[in-house]
Structure 1
Amino acid sequence: MAQQASRRGGARGGNNATRDRRPRDNEGIIPVLAKAVRQVEAAAQRGAVRPSGRTAYQVIALLVRGERARVKADAAMPETERTNILTRLDGIATILAKTAVRDTSLLALLAEDAPVSSAAKSLKNDMLRQAGIEVEEEPEPEPVATSTTTSRRVAPPQAIARQLANPFLAPDYSAVQQLKRPTTNRLGGWELLTPLFRAFESGGDSTCMPLPEPTELPHGIRGMELMHHQAQLVQSAADGHRTFLLADEPGLGKTAQALLAAEAADAFPLLVAVPNVVKANWAHEAELWTPRRTATVIHGDGETIDGFADIVIVNYEILDRHVGWLGNHGFNGMVVDEAHFIKNKTSQRSQHVLELSERIRARRANPLLMALTGTPLINDIEDFKAIWQFLGWIDDKGPRPALKAALEENGLTPAESGFYAAARRSVIDLGIVRRRKIDVAADIPARRIADIPVELDDEAGRSIRAAEADLARRLVSRYEAALAARSVVVEGEGIDHALVRRVATAERDSAAEKTGDNVFTMMRKIGQAKAELAADYAAQLARNVGKVVFFAKHIDVMDVAEATFAKRGLGYSSIRGDQTKKAREDAIASFTNDPDVQVIVCSLSAAGVGLNLQVASNVVLSELSWTSAEQTQAIDRVHRIGQTEPVTAWRIIAAQTLDPKIAVLIDDKAGLAARALDGSDEEIGSSADIQLEALIALLTEALEQKAAAALPE
């Protein structure tokens, strides 16, 4: 239990400070934070917040969280003093929220797993010293790049040494004549990108290119043998295929397939771009599956890398520092893991990945390019665009030669009904590989999602329902005002659904500017209100069926869950975004190996990828995600190769709130993914984002109820 206490107290404060006495109102950390937050607010009012202001914004948020956790954990503090301090901290947090409304890019700095730069850590210590708090100096961990370092590029000495040892990286044109090019120009006047994306939205046959039967099952060190479906992809690379969108469901061993495909294609040196949380896992997997190859991991400025390694692993967060020398390193292949991270083409992360793929193709005519993702569809079919561009299938304007040639060979134009099915097949044959667990891994049991409705019949529940009614009334008022402003009014035409969508869009886009509740604050309040109920259900599961994985989206929900488990006498561990690597590993090890640790409390953002938790077979989703992809990633921490029991995800749904509507929309989004990727014919909802659809559903229901109430008895 001492281990639990450490997780609930100082570990989350994060300031390692010694406080000798209670601060007065004009002493301690709060006045320092109040002054700093006003300065950041003033900067935001003048325009986009500069890098120094962004650093200050993040540090203020970290210190507010730390101070809040300290105050709540201090049992000796008088209740009046605690209330006073928490109220002042809430005031600072409110200013942070209002500032983020003016510059929404600041919201990324509030994420649990947002990287903290060395400049931020230095400023944090300076602010603590201003508050009269002694700071214990700690060895700095390897720095992680944030948006404040995007203009700083480095060239590690080892990378320079490797390039000097091989200064003549001549372009490779040996495969140019093998590239397929169009022989006709039937489609020369057509805009083709939109029809290509729509071809995947309309459904069809399963999304997997033809794969050869393996001549043998390749294996790694210690005799680890690939499964049949994995060996098929490796054989395809051995036969000469060089671009893959490997979209196998999570848990089917995409990392091993990528490494052995690189071995089969002799695609070394190989560049691997990954999220930070799976960087170490890639190095471990490389050692297991390609033991003859050396792997190096780039940390910070890359001063410790092996410039002569066969496999170079870099995380997205620091890619901006290294894109210069990486583009000149002479890579023969590139793997992008969790490729849905690059879906936003305007982000620096996506732009750097696309730049590197272009530079690799410029030197090597037919490099191995692999995009790995278990959730390739996040919100919209066009999320494919950056991935296809990385693979060299399209550019900003249209299909590249190989895809254009395939479309020309079909002999169809977008005006003909058969175009979409043929175009879909042409793209799939370029290298889309999608296998489901149910199809290829008989030893992985089926999974199911079970909704557990809960009633919020306390004051919090009544408050949420009242706030939701206020939000609905506000939407109806805006809708009716828009109708009244029209010059021509048509009687009896019912609900104008186009206007409903415009009103909902305006509400979503301006939500944070309002003082009342919006769809985002509503969902957070619902999560808070059902936190203890969800934790109680998880506790019952743990006592009856064994270990349970508990997922939450917000820190305060995790806090409530952990307090509930402690009160119930259940051992637990915790995965949060602010943990060190060792603390994270210890938490996983204790949950996996200690029979007394029955629950692991996980942040959706910090633990949604890169974890194997198949020691459990039950997952509790205490809060709903905004995407079906995030929900799937969470469940697949348990539903993986090695799982021996049926997996059930228990989704806690607050009845008579927005929760059920959001759940339906998430399931519709999963249906869209099924149609796009698996050829499913099930009905799907719109591919618009869930926040907008939730507001549309709320407004439509309110208008229908108002119309029904106006009908004569």
Structure 2
Amino acid sequence: MATRAQRPAVRTARRPRHSDEAGLIPVLARAVREVEAAARRGGRVSPAARAKFQVAALLVREERARVKSDPEITPAEQANALRRLDGLATILAKTSARDTSLLTLLADDAVLSSAARDLRRKMLIAGGYDAPDEAPAPPPPSADSAPAERQVVPQSVTQRHLANPFLAPDFSAAQELRRPRARVLAGWELISPLLRAFEQSTGSAPACMPLPEPSRRGVPAGLTLMKHQAEVVAAAEQGHRTFLLADEPGLGKTAQALLAARAATAYPLLVVVPNVVKTNWAREAQTWTPERRVTVVHGDGDTVDGFADIVVVNYEVLERHVGWLGKHDFRGMVVDEAHFIKNEKSKRSRHVLQLSDKIRSRMGRPLLMALTGTPLINDIEDFTAIWKFLGWIDDKGPRAALMNRLEDAGLTPADRGFYAAARQAVIDMGIVRRRKVDVAADIPARRIADLPVELDDDAGRTIREAEEELAAHLVRRYHRAVEVRMQQRPGDPPLEGIDLDLVRRVATAVREETSETAAGDNVFSLLRRIGQAKARLSADFAAQLAHNVGKVVYFAKHLDVMDVAEEVFARQGLRFATIRGNQTRTVRQANIDAFVEDPEVAVIVCSLSAAGVGVNLQVASNVVLAELSWTDAEQTQAIDRVHRIGQDMPVTAWRIIAAQTLDTKIAELIDSKAGLAARALDGSDEEFSSVDVQVEALVRLLTDALRAESGEAESGEASESSAGYAAAPRARTARSAPTAIAFASAPEARD
């Protein structure tokens, strides 16, 4: 049977019409309604309906990608088609929430049955496509086979290779690469016993390698490492080169990895991450290693700096770049959210392992770090791919360094003490696992960690266009005000530069003319649209937290954002409760009790207005703020649902920020007003409201637009906010989780 990756392409000799009653979309709509009706009847969905669900979901995704790239259809046709496809995707998502086993049909390695392939062909023909006959399925690709996706080599990378074609020899690996001393363990199969050593361990068994006393050297001025972070950096300074860094989320794994690379001089450094945290890694690299150049790989890599010291690439585009990355002479590699590679048959796992092998073959002892918040004790089989990435094992058994540690114990799997010794041998290879409770003394009782995310899809594009239109409207109002003033005072000299007082008056007037329910592009509608665009990303991150560290409180301002979050949690098999403003007191309390008392309820989805006060949720220690508040007070009230008397864990509030949008300006304003508000408590008469923040946001938007219009060099607060998101010191440990695969999203749209 053919997998999704092996299906033949659809030929479009007959171009389908785009009217409401013709083309593939009506065919899909009928199939989706039939699947929805089957799911509503209760019980497990029949095999025929499951096949129809699988085919419909895959064709919705394919049709959406085709519509977006078709140059022959008009913008109106495209918008109408995308709207209808998004509606079908929403129905499919709700259907899968009724029977979550349907989600397995959309996995990368999901197989299309013969009945499903036949149904797919019939639906394509009914929709106006010429569907070819099924070709024999090709054999599955091997790890060494050429990737199916088009390979690219950025021009600047070619220039770097021409400038520095030779790699200095590295003889530091002679000790590591010597042949293993197979004596006692000769002939034993050891992978299964090593896994069993972790499965059989007790809760009191150590889960962290011995770490040296921390060094304070090499930390940029104005920044401070916590003790547990500095210990890992000190280990890298002393020559340790492989780490499975499995600290709980919120303990600063990103900073540890970047400073370990600095300590090991592991440059160029390759960092492989989920798409959602590419921006955060670039920002953190500039913060912790400002002397090093960092470049982020987007799409085909047209903007890649081939001479950069740190190269950040996301899993989704790795296949496109694996060719040149394997020849780039990296001296270190970091894999973030390393549990992504647990399935060794997946493409991303094969590419990560391939790159690791090439780096080790060139360097001998490169710095290799796998970062994950997933506890080591769960599903230990998933960690074999990570051990292979780190060079501890291969397909046959332990490599030299680990084998020699096992031989030093003088025991075999037949001996009673072997398993404890084997577990310690693996841990000493570089496993580092700390929990919040273990390092509570290092961590502030309450922290706000900002996570900037890139909105690269259509939603991000339209948000930026709307923001530009709002800025243009402000600029027009400003110029009209200047003209009126010149007419009223003809003797005044011409205006030079920007009149900041006039900027503020224009911003205030525009704010006073706008309400939260007003139509069109304004500061309220923009922030709402940004929240909608961030909804899936923030929910994915909350789900990852729930899987890693337990219960999570998820706050949003708008019901549509809450709806998207609940769909994500249902699709990922997470039980959740909800607090909304339209609930009765009885329902509200029942949902709170379920979250607090039922260990299976992992997330509670809360409205900022409905759950911001009077609710005790201190059973959790992680809060996700999916949308920004207009005031620091509202944000603080939400966090205080968890940070309360009786809370015995440090609380981390993860604030999701849309980079290079109005979101960044508002986040900075909220933080600055919070500092002023704190001073007000000490005696100042100043008070700050949501209106202040809204006006200030418009002031910054208008000031940046006027500077761009006049070509002035940007400086000060306005230029800092327009350039992207500048992190506050308290946000140094922000990290994230992967983006889930949306029904209606083509894979390339998430690159």
TM-score (norm 1): 0.51
Q: Could you tell me how far apart the structure 2 residues matched to 1:521 and 1:227 are? A: 34
Q: Could you tell me how far apart the structure 1 residues matched to 2:573 and 2:352 are? A: 38
Give the Å deviation of 1:443.
4.7
| Counterpart residue identity of residue 633, structure 2 | P
Q: Could you tell me how far apart the structure 2 residues matched to 1:171 and 1:50 are? A: 55
Give the Å deviation of 1:376.
4.2
SS in 1 for 2:282: helix
Q: Could you tell me how far apart the structure 1 residues matched to 2:93 and 2:256 are? A: 49
CA-to-partner distance for each residue in 1:446-500, whole Å, 9 max, x for gaps? 89xxxxxxxxxxxxxxxxxxxxxxxxxxxxxxxxxxxxxxxxxxxxxxxxxxxxx
> Could you tell me which residue of structure 2 aligns to residue 279 of structure 1?
278
Distance 1:302 1:378, change over 3 A: farther
Q: How does 1:580-599 map to 2 (within 5 A)?
A: 590-591=628-629, 593-596=631-634
Give the Å deviation of 1:332.
0.1
Distance 1:592 1:376, change over 3 A: farther
> Could you tell me which residue of structure 2 aligns to residue 34 of structure 1?
29
CA-to-partner distance for each residue in 1:195-234, whole Å, 9 max, x for gaps? 00111111253111111113435422x4202112211111
Q: How does 1:289-368 map to 2 (within 5 A)?
A: 289-368=288-367
Contact 1:208–1:435 under 8 Å retained in 2: yes
Contact 2:93–2:571 under 8 Å retained in 1: no
> Could you tell me which residue of structure 2 aligns to residue 199 of structure 1?
197
Q: 5+ unaligned residues in a row in structure 2: which ranges?
A: 1-17, 36-46, 69-79, 111-126, 128-146, 447-566, 614-623, 645-649, 657-670, 672-751
| Structure 1 counterpart of 2:155, from 157, 177, 183 | 157
Distance 1:321 1:199, change over 3 A: same
Q: Could you tell me how far apart the structure 1 residues matched to 2:401 and 2:573 are? A: 50
Distance 1:526 1:181, change over 3 A: closer
Contact 1:209–1:429 under 8 Å retained in 2: yes
Q: How does 1:110-149 map to 2 (within 5 A)?
A: none
Q: Could you tell me how far apart the structure 1 residues matched to 2:434 and 2:576 are? A: 39
Q: How does 1:365-384 map to 2 (within 5 A)?
A: 365-377=364-376, 380-384=379-383
Distance 1:54 1:165, change over 3 A: farther
Contact 1:182–1:406 under 8 Å retained in 2: no
Q: Could you tell me how far apart the structure 1 residues matched to 2:106 and 2:230 are? A: 44
Q: Could you tell me how far apart the structure 2 residues matched to 1:415 and 1:299 are? A: 52
Contact 2:100–2:570 under 8 Å retained in 1: no
Q: Could you tell me how far apart the structure 1 residues matched to 2:178 and 2:573 are? A: 55
> Could you tell me which residue of structure 1 aligns to residue 466 of structure 2?
none
> Could you tell me which residue of structure 2 aligns to residue 214 of structure 1?
214
CA-to-partner distance for each residue in 1:16-44, whole Å, 9 max, x for gaps? xxxxxxx9984899626437979x999x9
| Counterpart residue identity of residue 371, structure 1 | A
Contact 1:159–1:307 under 8 Å retained in 2: yes
> Could you tell me which residue of structure 2 aligns to residue 176 of structure 1?
174
| Counterpart residue identity of residue 288, structure 1 | T
Q: Could you tell me how far apart the structure 1 residues matched to 2:397 and 2:632 are? A: 55
> Could you tell me which residue of structure 1 aligns to residue 242 of structure 2?
243
| Counterpart residue identity of residue 374, structure 1 | G
> Could you tell me which residue of structure 1 aligns to residue 533 of structure 2?
none
Give the Å deviation of 1:53.
4.6
> Could you tell me which residue of structure 2 aligns to residue 472 of structure 1?
none
Contact 1:181–1:405 under 8 Å retained in 2: no
Q: Could you tell me how far apart the structure 2 residues matched to 1:51 and 1:197 are? A: 38
Q: Could you tell me how far apart the structure 1 residues matched to 2:189 and 2:216 are? A: 44
> Could you tell me which residue of structure 1 aligns to residue 398 of structure 2?
399
SS in 2 for 1:230: helix
Please give the root-mean-square deviation of Cα atoms over the aligned residues, in Å.
5.4
2:425 corresponds to 1:426: yes
Distance 1:315 1:599, change over 3 A: farther
Distance 1:223 1:376, change over 3 A: same
| Counterpart residue identity of residue 183, structure 2 | N
Q: How does 1:437-452 map to 2 (within 5 A)?
A: 437-444=436-443
> Could you tell me which residue of structure 1 aligns to residue 642 of structure 2?
617
Q: Could you tell me how far apart the structure 1 residues matched to 2:200 and 2:416 are? A: 12
Give the Å deviation of 1:185.
2.2
Q: How does 1:652-663 map to 2 (within 5 A)?
A: none
> Could you tell me which residue of structure 2 aligns to residue 509 of structure 1?
none
2:261 corresponds to 1:262: yes
| Counterpart residue identity of residue 398, structure 1 | G
Contact 1:218–1:226 under 8 Å retained in 2: no
Q: How many residues align?
A: 437
Q: Could you tell me how far apart the structure 2 residues matched to 1:190 and 1:389 are? A: 19
Distance 1:377 1:67, change over 3 A: farther
SS in 1 for 2:279: helix
Q: Could you tell me how far apart the structure 1 residues matched to 2:92 and 2:364 are? A: 58
Q: Could you tell me how far apart the structure 2 residues matched to 1:92 and 1:587 are? A: 23
TM-score (norm 2): 0.49
The alignment-based identity, stated in percent, is 53
Give the Å deviation of 1:54.
7.4
Contact 1:170–1:363 under 8 Å retained in 2: no
| Counterpart residue identity of residue 56, structure 1 | E
Q: 5+ unaligned residues in a row in structure 1: which ranges?
A: 1-22, 71-85, 111-126, 128-148, 448-519, 572-585, 601-613, 620-633, 643-713
Q: Could you tell me how far apart the structure 2 residues matched to 1:201 and 1:363 are? A: 35
CA-to-partner distance for each residue in 1:233-279, whole Å, 9 max, x for gaps? 11111111100111112111111111111111010000001111111
Contact 2:28–2:60 under 8 Å retained in 1: no
Contact 1:54–1:106 under 8 Å retained in 2: no
| Counterpart residue identity of residue 437, structure 2 | I
> Could you tell me which residue of structure 2 aligns to residue 189 of structure 1?
187
